Structure 1
Amino acid sequence: MTSPSTLILQSAVRSATVRRRIAPMVRKTPVLASRMVLNQGTQLFYKTENLQTTGSFKFRGASAKLTSLPTDRPVITASTGNHGIACSVAAQKTGHDLTVVVPSNTIAQKREKIESYGTRLIIEGSDGVLAEEHARRLAQTQGYTYASPYNDAEVIAGQGTIGLELIEQLPQIDNLFISMGGGGLISGVGAVIKAISPGTRIIGVSAVNTAALAAAIKAGKIVETEHHDTLADGVAGGVDAGSLTLPMASEVIDEIIHIAEDGIALGLKALAWTENMIVEGAAALALAPILSDPDRFEGKVNVVLLCGANYDQDRVRAVL
């Protein structure tokens, strides 16, 4: 087993520092045991970031970033929803002037929630990649500080605070399942876990319909990918060129599992009807590998990171 790289160790140390800074703002989310009937010797737990302030893990990274910035310069970011909501709440606490760029396919409930906090909202582009490009252009031309939703050391470290909590909450973790979007979550959490518990396997779960990070890891570089509509809208979008998350995710991820839309729907149903939790598709995505092949993870301590619960009511109602 190779030792973690300097990049991974630095991120883990940064997470510990960030944790102290954002402790008054974020919620330490519980770890809950599953109610499912499992194979003998198998354990399944949920790290419930769906219960985080703003209903998503994104509040950790947003709090970490905004508390590191001076308040005398406006901030702009891009989001498909959860990061924008998280930054909006964090900005209320820190006093930053905030603008959020969202793509046209952002669900209505998320757009409305962002605006409800008094945040300036710009709708630009048909997907998260185009929204991010527009936000970066505005930062360059209009004097904003750009806050990436994932390609930022402070944001990644903020997400990594989840890993610090997990290590305290569970004495052993064999497999940790994390949904893959731009890579900030899996990079941050994975860095902490690999630094402290290198024997834990980090399993990245990628939606077939939007798999930019998985494709980049396979190719060893950022590649163009097609993005199709998905129930897991929280992980939709691409990865920045030169992203910090590509080398970090490539190092910490032990396996990538691709999940189609029917698998995400199955996860939503299982979480609603068995676990009594209604979550967003990106959270259900992380559970799907266990539902599709439970024998593979028999006899292990498995943890599914439920990343959020800011769901499109109409879409989830149709699935359930």
Structure 2
Amino acid sequence: MNLEVDVLMSVKDIHSSAKFQNPVTIRDIEEAAHIIHQVGRVTPLLQSMFLSRNVTAGEVYLKLENMQLTGSFKFRGAFNKINHLTAAEKARGVIAASAGNHAQGVALTSQLLGIDAIVVMPHGAPLAKQQATAGYGAKVVLYGDNFDEAHQFMEEEAIRKGYTVVDPYDDVDVIAGQGTIGLEILDQLWDVDTVIVPVGGGGLISGIATALKSFNPQIHIVGVQSENIHGMTASYAADRIISFSQGKTLADGTAVATPGQITFPITEHLVDEMVLVSEEEIATAMKDLLQRTKTVVEGAGALPTAALEAHKIDSKWIKNKKVVALVSGGNVDLECVSQNLEHFVTLVK
């Protein structure tokens, strides 16, 4: 009986995969790489001896997107998307909603291309991200208590005033732009076994998974979210799009309660597992990345390291494997860094 059930499930999985058509192709990602690398950086991939020897017994490499322009991977998707706009769409000016990193990507791209940009950010968005966005020349509008409220306002404002929307994750050009990270990982470590990615709305992991699985379907891809806000993980488990939010998170860059209509199916079909980490585990990872690897990381960027340190991923995918943990960004307020370090210093005392 169990064998029959297993066979039926396998047939169902094959049928489901056969029906899935990814709207983002490897050609889209290769084209995006050509566009982005005219301005953007190929970020370093460096082995962390601390995570390799002290934590995992694997070869753990950090893909340092905190060293990308604007301090985050988000520049890639924004630059690719805006470069694909028509002249008329650019002339209307662009609008985006963001907790801060997409905001900076849109702002810098718009400055480079001579386009007017408006960015809607939730109240409480990190001050460093607000200031950097304004510094790149975008008009910053604060609205709502969270990303989802800011995103809704952004869509309404775009309709009212005719702005062109540059969505932070649910857009094929944005996804393709983020997927260029996957191509770089393959160039830098072609025989990678496991890749661990922070997840918010799903644009980053959708793009990376598309790139990696196009090359080698056996690469194990893990998404990581906060226990407090994890719409993608909840949807992944439920096999349908649902929302999940029960408070704030240090990983503000991934604080998206509801995943995208485009990103969810891609994630569901190409990502092998989703795991959750606690706020304390995120804080510990931020501290360890600073102290042991000399890397300044925001909460979202620390999610993969948190998953490794908390042993949330089965060791068969980590031990004696080549593992890449994506450091998605480093745009963190100095006050947050100070408070986090003070917290652990107090514990030591």
Q: TM-score, normalised by structure 2?
A: 0.87
- Which structure shows the bigger proportion of residues in helix conformation? 2
Query: 2:147 matched to which residue of 1?
Result: 128
The 1:78–1:200 alpha-carbon spacing in structure 2 relative to 1, beyond 3 Å, is same
Q: Distance in 1 between matches of 2:276 and 2:325?
A: 15
**Structure 2: where are the runs of 5+ without partners?**
1-12, 342-349
One of 194, 207, 220 as aligned partner of 1:201:
220
Contact 1:25 1:63 in 2 (8 A): no
User: How many percent identity over aligned positions?
Assistant: 35
CA contact (8 A) 2:122 2:145 kept: yes
Structure 1 residue ranges (4+ consecutive) displaced by more than 6 angstroms after TM superposition: 1-6
Q: Hey, what's the Cα distance between the residues in 2 that align with 1:154 and 1:143?
A: 20
- Structure 2 residue 84 is matched with structure 1 residue 84: no
| CA drift at 1:247 | 0.2
Alignment of 1:41-60 (within 5 A): 42-60=58-76
CA gap of 1:5–1:301, structure 2 versus 1, over 3 A, is: farther
Residue in 2 aligned with 1:116? 135
CA distance in 2, matches of 1:90, 1:77: 12
Q: Tell me which amino acid in the other structure corresponds to 2:285.
A: G
Supply the RMSD in Å over aligned alpha carbons. Answer: 1.9
Following TM superposition, by how much is the alpha carbon of 1:227 offset from its aligned partner in structure 2, in angstroms?
Answer: 4.1
Q: C-alpha offsets along residues 47-72 of structure 1, whole Å, 9 cap, x if unaligned?
A: 11010010000000010011111221
Matches within 5 A, 1:185-264: 185-239=204-258, 243-264=261-282
Matched AA of 1:147:
V
Larger Rg belongs to: 2
Match of 1:29 in 2: 43
Consecutive unaligned residues of structure 1, counting only runs of 5 or more, are none
Number of the residue aligned with 2:347: none
Instruction: Give yes or no for contact 1:205–1:285 (8 Å, CA) kept in 2.
Output: yes
CA contact (8 A) 2:107 2:133 kept: yes
Instruction: Decide which of 289, 305, 320 is 1:271's aligned counterpart.
Output: 289
Moved more, 290-299 or 263-272: 290-299
After TM superposition, list the pairs within 5 Å mapping 1:109-188 onto structure 2.
Answer: 109-188=128-207
- Judging changes above 3 Å, is the alpha-carbon distance between structure 1 residues 236 and 115 closer, same or farther for their aligned structure 2 residues? same
Return the TM-score normalized by structure 1.
0.95
What does 1:294-305 align with in structure 2 at a 5 Å threshold? 296=315, 297-305=318-326
| Counterpart-to-counterpart distance in 1, 2:144 and 2:61 | 38
1:4 offset after TM fit, Å? 8.4
Determine helix, strand or coil for the equivalent of 1:286.
helix
CA contact (8 A) 1:39 1:298 kept: no
Alignment partners' CA distance in 1, 2:41 and 2:61: 18
Label 1:39 to 1:213 Cα distance change in 2 as closer, same or farther (>3 A): closer
User: How many residue pairs get matched?
Assistant: 319
Q: Corresponding residue for 1:280?
A: 298
SS at match of 1:7: coil
For residue 172 of structure 1, report the CA deviation from its aligned partner. 1.2
